[in-house]
């Protein structure tokens, strides 16, 4: 899969912008979260224990102690009956939350009851009998006496009005006819409910008071809260009378993650539970996280835009170099990288690339002046350099020579001579290359080609016959030229290698086979191909070609006439 450089820069810049911010953000969030959790837990514990103390202090200081004073006054032998009644009435007026006080004589169904007129009116308006509602039953007093729970409140709720009432009993030392006298009081606990509802913590968290059955206390109803884990954890401690404050994180049935704490008042069979959702507790963390995300997003966008701009400036010259390289690969050596003015490594690369193209173009042009064998020899000697010397090889050599060239060059302009010569050589070279040969050199109006490898004799003969046919077609096209070609083909061992001076060498073939090919070419008539014995023997079975046996031909440099054969198309 291709991953463009621009995307790499973009990804790198994005990572550079985001990763440090994410790492810092994570550490900051974790540290802040830990601090906030610690602070939230401390706050929850402080609120729960504070309400516990407030409940106990309110009950003991505002209700139990004054009622004990009233009980002691009534129990005093120094006060008369009228004074005791006045003490009872005035005490009730001074204690607005105490809605009823009664004196009960053991075994008597006629207690002395004093009620708060305002609260009694409220009960009457709700359709209740104030005397019956505010009286403390003898059975309850008997039960309190049996357990010795004097002074400890028994809490209940008036369904008709929704008021929470605490009932407590205090024994008197004075007896009537030898019977125990008990003072009972009913207290309106609305002050405790107001204390819970108006607590500052209630604005951001929850304060719940539950009884030993897991029901909500001091509220508008008595709904069960046992499905909350923190309530389930507190209930056994309420029943056991334990007073160990505790912290407890938990998850509500609706999936809300909560932090909670609970404390237990000494005077009430309750648990004061303070709760705070983790979302609220970690609101600052969430705000920090959002801010980090916003900053990260802005940084990501800025870094991304900057990376894209920088990548574009960086990759544009690289893309230009790539486009020029593609054109050069297609053979356009006139192409150049233009418009790259960067004074950096890329600018240097563009300049060197242009210089390389120029040198490649020059080399390509130079390659047109040497044979393919020369190029192969140079490529093979790149590491050690080219050295003079040769090696023996078996090849087939073709010599072609244009007949009538001298007369032609004398009667036409040099420009026409060059044009005609190039046309003839173009045709011959294409045929040589098609048959797998290599043009070794051009000598005036002569061409020397070399064939190597399997079937070289057959390919050389086929090439020579094809050249004569092509030259005949050129003669038909340009009859005024009156140019013909004679060809000689010989096969055998030659010496192939670099020869010449140290600084000016020529990679060519030398030997008797080359000379024989040249001598046969000189003896060939216009349009005729002459081949030696070795070539004829190797190419005898060549399809589409027949060989004419000729009289041995005397050749310069040979003591005896040389056998020669003329191939013709079948």
- Is residue 158 domain-resident? no
Q: What are the C-alpha distances in Å from 256 to residues 34, 223, 224, 227, 253?
A: 19, 19, 18, 13, 7
Same domain, 310 and 332: yes
Same domain, 277 and 303: no
Same domain, 344 and 251: no
Q: Rounded CA gap, 472 and 568, in Å? A: 14
Res 57: pLDDT: 94
Res 371: pLDDT: 47
From 365, 394, 413, the end of a domain falls on 365
Q: What is the 3-state secondary structure (H, E, C) of 416-458?
A: HHHHHHHHHHHHHHHHHHHCCCEEEEEECCEEEEEECCCCHHH
Q: Rounded CA gap, 80 and 88, in Å? A: 12
| Residue ranges of the chain whose pLDDT lies below 50 | 368-371, 373, 375, 377-379, 381, 385-386
Same domain, 454 and 550: yes
Res 236: pLDDT: 86
Q: Rounded CA gap, 226 and 237, in Å? A: 14
**Residue 563, exposed/middle/buried by CB under 10 A (0-12, 13-18, 19+)?**
middle
**Look-up of token digits 């486009």:** 323
Token pair of 239, please? 């029943």
Task: Give the residue among 275, 158, 283 at the shortest CA–CA distance from 208.
Answer: 275
Residue 274's beta-bridge partner residues? 207, 261
Task: Give the residue among 60, 530, 36, 521 at the shortest CA–CA distance from 286.
Answer: 36
Give the total number of structural domains in the chain: 3
Is the C-alpha dihedral spanning 332, 333, 339, 343 positive or negative? positive
Same domain, 355 and 452: no
Q: Rounded CA gap, 184 and 111, in Å? A: 10
Task: Give the residue among 289, 236, 304 at the shortest CA–CA distance from 8.
Answer: 304
Q: Rounded CA gap, 446 and 402, in Å? A: 7
| Predicted TM-score (pTM) of this structure | 0.52
- Is residue 157 domain-resident? no
Q: Rounded CA gap, 149 and 182, in Å? A: 13
Token pair of 386, please? 């080219």
DSSP state of 104: E
Domain that holds residue 233: 5-59+193-281
Alpha carbon 545 to chain centroid, angstroms? 71
3-class secondary-structure state, position 247? strand
Res 187: pLDDT: 94
Within 148-251, residue ranges assigned H as helices are: 190-197, 229-240
Same domain, 499 and 411: yes
Query: Would you tell me the crossing angle of helices 5-57 and 190-197 to the nearest 10 degrees?
Result: 160
- The pLDDT > 70 percentage for the chain reads 82
Res 455: pLDDT: 92
Cβ-proximal residues to 294 (8 Å cutoff; 6+ apart), any chain: none
From 233, 253, 281, the end of a domain falls on 281
DSSP state of 135: S
- Is residue 70 domain-resident? no
Same domain, 346 and 264: no
Same domain, 438 and 456: yes
Res 31: pLDDT: 64
Same domain, 453 and 528: yes
| CATH number, domain with residue 52 | 3.30.450.20
- Is residue 123 domain-resident? no
Same domain, 393 and 541: yes
Q: Rounded CA gap, 295 and 301, in Å? A: 10
- Is residue 126 domain-resident? no
Token pair of 85, please? 């009644």
pLDDT in tens, 379-417: 454 555 445 557 888 999 999 999 988 888 888 898 989
- Is residue 11 domain-resident? yes
Q: Rounded CA gap, 239 and 229, in Å? A: 16
Q: Rounded CA gap, 456 and 494, in Å? A: 14
Same domain, 323 and 251: no
Task: Give the residue among 443, 439, 448 at the shortest CA–CA distance from 367.
Answer: 439
From 266, 281, 296, the end of a domain falls on 281
The total of other beta-carbon atoms located within 10 Å of residue 314's CB is 16
Same domain, 242 and 259: yes
């Amino acid at each position: 899969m291709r991953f463009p450089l621009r995307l790499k820069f973009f990804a790198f810049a994005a990572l550079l912008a985001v990763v440090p911010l994410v790492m810092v953000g994570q550490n900051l969030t974790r540290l802040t979260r830990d601090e906030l959790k610690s602070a939230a837990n401390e706050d929850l514990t402080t609120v729960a224990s504070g309400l516990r103390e407030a409940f106990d202090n309110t009950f003991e200081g505002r209700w139990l102690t004054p009622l004990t004073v009233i009980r002691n006054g009534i129990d005093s032998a120094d006060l008369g009956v009228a004074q005791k009644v006045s003490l009872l009435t005035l005490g009730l007026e001074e204690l607005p939350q105490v809605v009823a006080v009664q004196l009960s004589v053991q075994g008597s169904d006629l207690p002395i009851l004093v009620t708060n007129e305002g609260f009694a009116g409220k009960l009457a308006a709700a359709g209740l009998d104030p005397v019956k509602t505010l009286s403390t039953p003898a059975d309850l007093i008997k039960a309190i006496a049996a357990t010795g729970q004097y002074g400890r409140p028994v809490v209940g709720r008036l369904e008709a009005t929704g008021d929470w009432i605490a009932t407590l009993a205090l024994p008197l030392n004075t007896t009537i006819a030898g019977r125990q006298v008990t003072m009972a009081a009913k207290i309106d606990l609305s002050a405790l409910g107001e204390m819970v509802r108006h607590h500052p913590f209630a604005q951001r968290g929850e304060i719940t008071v539950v009884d030993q059955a897991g029901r909500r206390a001091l509220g508008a109803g008595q709904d069960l809260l046992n499905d909350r884990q923190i309530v389930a954890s507190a209930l056994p401690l309420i029943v056991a009378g334990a007073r160990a404050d505790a912290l407890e994180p938990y998850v509500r049935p609706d999936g809300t993650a909560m932090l909670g704490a609970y404390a237990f008042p000494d005077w009430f069979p309750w648990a004061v539970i303070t709760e705070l959702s983790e979302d609220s507790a970690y609101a600052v963390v969430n705000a920090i996280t959002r801010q980090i995300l916003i900053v990260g997003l802005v940084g990501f966008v800025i870094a991304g835009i900057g990376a894209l701009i920088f990548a574009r400036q960086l990759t544009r010259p690289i893309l230009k170099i790539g486009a020029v390289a593609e054109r050069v690969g297609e053979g356009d050596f006139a192409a150049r990288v233009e418009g790259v003015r960067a004074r950096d490594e890329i600018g240097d690369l563009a300049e060197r690339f242009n210089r390389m193209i120029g040198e490649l173009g020059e080399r390509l042009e130079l390659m047109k002046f040497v044979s393919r064998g020369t190029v192969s020899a140079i490529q093979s000697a790149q590491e050690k350099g080219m050295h003079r010397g040769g090696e023996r090889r078996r090849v087939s050599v073709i010599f072609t020579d244009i007949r009538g060239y001298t007369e032609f060059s004398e009667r036409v302009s040099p420009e026409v001579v060059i044009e005609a010569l190039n046309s003839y050589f173009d045709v011959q070279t294409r045929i040589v290359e098609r048959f797998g040969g290599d043009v070794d050199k051009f000598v005036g109006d002569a061409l020397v080609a070399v064939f190597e490898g399997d079937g070289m004799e057959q390919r050389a003969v086929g090439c020579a016959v094809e050249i004569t046919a092509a030259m005949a077609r050129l003669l038909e096209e340009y009859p005024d030229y009156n140019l013909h070609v004679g060809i000689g083909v010989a096969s055998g061992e030659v010496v192939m290698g670099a020869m010449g001076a140290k600084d000016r060498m020529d990679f060519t073939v030398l030997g008797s086979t080359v000379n024989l090919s040249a001598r046969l070419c000189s003896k060939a008539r216009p349009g005729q191909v002459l081949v030696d014995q070795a070539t004829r023997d190797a190419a005898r079975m060549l399809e589409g070609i027949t060989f004419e046996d000729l009289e041995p031909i005397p050749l310069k440099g040979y003591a005896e006439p040389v056998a020669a054969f003329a191939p013709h198309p079948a």
